[in-house]
Amino acid sequence: MAVGEAEARIPRVAGFAERPARGPGSTKDEGKALRERVPRAAHALLDIDAGRPDAVAAVEESNRGRIAELAPIRVGRMAATPFAFLRGSAGLMAYDLARTPMTRVRAQICGDAHAANFGLYGDAHGRLVIDLNDFDETVHGPWEWDLKRLAASLVLAGREAGAGEDVCHAAARDAVGAYRRTLRLLARLPVLDAWHAIADEELVSHTDAHDLLGTLERVSQKARGNTSGRFAARSTEPTEDGGRRFVAAPPVLRPVPDAEAAAVAGSLEGYLGSLAEDRHPLLARHAVHDVAFRVVGTGSVGTRSYVVLLLDHRGEALILQVKEARPSALVPHLLTAGFDAAQVAHEGRRVVAGQKRMQVVSDILLGWTTVDGRPFQVRQFRNRKGSVDPHELSPDQLDDYARMTGALLARAHSHSADPRLLSGYCGKNEELDEAMAAFAVAYADRTEADHAELVKAVDSGRVAAERGV
């Protein structure tokens, strides 16, 4: 049957590619053509404009709408190191990235793809997987923003670990190189194979990260014991009716008033509607016993975040985290950069949808709900989670970790942006690697200056900070 006859019998179906599906790879050619408009070397550019908010003002603005009494904890955590400052300043970096060269190719991006936002967690069968694991800022945006944030964070992590500048530069360069090479691999594979590519047992070999094996094994062993049951054993106590309740550990974990606890618990009914129906029987075999407030993260400090204690018929614990979902800090800067920003009906749903678009395997209890009119995301708490502290890695391990995270980021982006298009742009040589590494070093310098401004403001009393919490 001729192609024309096939098209006459089966017309194009909306949502699917046009025929012919095979051919000379025009999508890759389109990627190559983008180099004429945005040379890869241009990604080295960092131009800090005169209207940029100072670091202290940016931190104060990002605290707006958060629980005021927790702001000093957030400031204290950000003031700890330049790497910690970067973790809490996704919006400020987005301001800067909106003024850098971009191909205008968009993907579902993490929005906060720094080196500490990759980690281990358990899948539905209890096996450990490694991937991006924080999606509070996720949006449909420029792929370059994630990659540059990752590269800059690696430079800062290396400096904090005491690595030389050549090691820090190499880590940033090799993260970009792994991203580029992974896209080439994915572009060559059948689409279904590419979608599930780079299984975890292959990841170390793919990225030549053999020096990281010992660290990954230690983190894995710790992650296997990082469960709801373990947390409940340490953080709850028996009640007279045979149940359990959380034990206060201020300021991180504290009880909440009855009305607040009832509102959070009641929101779980709406949460069930965000889950696939086959998950409902699992939760129906658990009873809600208690709710507490728990401070989390660095960038997330000050948002409303609860832990909900569920027990099954044997008294075994399952803990859910119900975490407020604020609008992505990247949205205003996407608009500045000339991108449209889709209206978001529910911020929790945005976070969950973005996470599922980027991860190969996601938490089976990932969903969203609304508490007192505020949007929240819901997920398992302590789902065998583990992470590598990038600023504690030795120089040879840092480079391995950089390549691994670069590969994971490429896989995540390829779920929403065609890897043939991105690979066509990134190319075979190291021009992009060197350019983004230069950007990363310059941005690390900028972040250190921003951090110094914040520390000065804390020391002078301009900004309140609670350190060591």
Residue 442 is predicted with a pLDDT of 98
Q: Which two tokens stand for residue 129?
A: 């997987």
The answer to whether 180 and 40 are in contact (CB under 8 A) is no
Residue 376 is predicted with a pLDDT of 98
Residue 32 is predicted with a pLDDT of 96
Residue identified by tokens 């190189």 is 177
Residue 190 is predicted with a pLDDT of 92
pTM over 0.85: yes
Residue 5 is predicted with a pLDDT of 56
Q: Which two tokens stand for residue 456?
A: 């000065």
In the chain (469 residues long), the average pLDDT of successive 10-residue segments reads 60 79 70 97 95 94 92 95 97 97 97 95 84 95 98 98 97 97 94 81 77 88 90 95 94 95 98 97 97 88 94 96 97 95 92 96 96 97 90 91 95 96 97 98 98 97 89
Residue 335 is predicted with a pLDDT of 95
Task: Count Cα atoms within 13 angstroms, Cβ side, for 43.
Answer: 30
- For the residues of 391-406, what is the DSSP string, one character each? GGS-HHHHHHHHHHHH
Neighbours of 20 (CB within 10 A): 9
Residue 82 is predicted with a pLDDT of 98
Q: Which two tokens stand for residue 95?
A: 């301001």
Which residues have CB under 8 Å from 459's CB, separation 6+? none
Residue type, 80: A
- For the residues of 173-210, what is the DSSP string, one character each? HHHHHHHHHHHHHHHHS-HHHHHT-S-HHHHHHHTT-G
Q: ω before 257 within 30° of 0 (cis)?
A: no
Residue identified by tokens 């709710």 is 291
The domain limits of the chain are 69-102+120-223+391-469, 227-383
* H or E element, residue 434: helix 431-460
Q: Which two tokens stand for residue 135?
A: 């999606």
Residue 206 is predicted with a pLDDT of 79
CA distance 224 to 384: 5
CA distance 273 to 280: 9
